[in-house]
Amino acid sequence: MRRVRTFLTLTAVGAALVLGAGAPVHGAASADPRPVTAAADSYLFGYYYTVEACRYFGDSLVQGGAWGSYTCAYQWHPYDEQYYWYLYVW
């Protein structure tokens, strides 16, 4: 089971690098500069240009059994000075 989780996680990360490299969707969601807090024991898995990519990887990680739940939050990324969809898992 551990090998399956590791494989799924690495596959998701690799796919995130490929799919997350597209152009950002402007106006896809309301821009709220306040940080969104996820569950207290959550882990930031990654951030993506589109909500579809974020949900795809969140669904894949939960269905594969690597994580129990996830959420996607539209947040400001201070280093790039633009918004991304952050994927939190727990």
Q: Where are the alpha helices (DSSP H) in 24-87?
A: 51-63
d(CA 53, CA 72): 10
Number of Cα atoms under 13 Å in the Cβ half of residue 15: 14
Q: Where are the alpha helices (DSSP H) in 1-90?
A: 2-19, 51-63
Task: Give the global pTM.
Answer: 0.57
Tens digits of residue pLDDT in 15-69: 554 445 444 444 444 444 445 555 678 999 999 999 999 999 999 999 999 999 9
Tens digits of residue pLDDT in 4-24: 565 556 555 555 544 454 444
